[in-house]
Amino acid sequence: MELFLSFFAGLVGSAYLLYGRRQSEPWFIVTGIALIAYPYIVSGLVLTGLVGVALALLPFVLR
| pTM (predicted TM-score) | 0.92
The pLDDT assigned to 32 comes to 97
For the segment 46-63, the average pLDDT, to the nearest whole number, is: 94
Angle, helix 45-61 to helix 26-37, in steps of 10 degrees: 170
Write the pLDDT tens digit of every residue in 4-50.
999 999 999 999 999 999 999 999 999 999 999 999 999 999 999 99
The pLDDT assigned to 63 comes to 80
The pLDDT assigned to 11 comes to 97
